[in-house]
Amino acid sequence: MRPLVESETKIVFDKLANYLSDLKSLIAPLDDGDRYVFRLNHSRVYYVRLSIANLATSISRDKLLSVGTCLGKLTKSGKFRLHITALPILAEHARHKIWVKENGAQPFLYGSNVVKAHVGRWTEDCPEHSGCVVYSMADVPLGFGVTSRSTADCRRLDPTGIVCFRQADCGEYLRDEDTLFAGGV
């Protein structure tokens, strides 16, 4: 497990900036003097307290499976792909949000995109192709995606028009349980 190099950090922060309102809050010092850091292990990026990351250095890389919250994976092509395990962090600091009605939650959790007929409400002034977190009407985060159009354009869509392209949803815990936590071991 090692710290991210500058190029990797830039890639991760660029992706997170698409979803989050304030990146500084992720790395700000905590009240107890500790802070959160980003670490790389088997091409997966983890968000973990520094004190725990320091303790994890005593475990060999091939034996360490996971520590902290897995945000996603750095691909061989040099891109960063967010995993569903990053949802609690994204939901806490989300800039743009979409709430789906009860009849839209199940199709979303089965891997479908969010259509206008399923949207209960959304944040105003959401630009096109920006990251958003998808919630149920009871404020439970279900997943995240990328908006297909701006909020103003979505208002003029027909009911079957796609509002948000699904990137990840909580149904992946069941659909991808064999590969979700398997590292490059």
Which of 113, 111, 169 minimizes the C-alpha distance to 140? Answer: 169
Distance, CA of 120 to CA of 81 (rounded, Å): 28
Distance, CA of 123 to CA of 38 (rounded, Å): 29
CATH number at residue 114: 2.30.130.10
38 lies in which domain range? 2-82
Residues 123, 54 share a domain:
no
Q: Which of 29, 55, 82 corresponds to the end of one domain?
A: 82
Tens of pLDDT, residue by residue over 4-61, are 999 999 999 999 999 998 888 888 888 888 899 999 988 899 999 999 999 888 888 8
Mean pLDDT value of segment 161-174: 90
- Asked if residue 184 belongs to a domain, the reply is no
Q: What is the pLDDT of residue 162?
A: 94
Tens of pLDDT, residue by residue over 130-152, are 999 999 999 999 999 999 999 88
Q: What is the pLDDT of residue 154?
A: 86
Distance, CA of 1 to CA of 110 (rounded, Å): 34
Distance, CA of 89 to CA of 59 (rounded, Å): 26
- Asked if residue 159 belongs to a domain, the reply is yes
Mean pLDDT value of segment 93-105: 93
Residues 144, 110 share a domain:
yes
Question: Is the pTM for the entire model greater than 0.75?
Answer: yes
- Asked if residue 98 belongs to a domain, the reply is yes
Residues 47, 17 share a domain:
yes
Q: Which of 41, 57, 82 corresponds to the end of one domain?
A: 82
Residues 68, 106 share a domain:
no
Q: What is the pLDDT of residue 57?
A: 85
Mean pLDDT value of segment 75-88: 93
CATH number at residue 44: 3.10.450.220
> For the chain, how many structural domains are there in total?
2
Residues 6+ apart with CB under 8 A from 142: 100, 105, 108, 109, 134, 135, 136, 169, 170
- Asked if residue 181 belongs to a domain, the reply is no
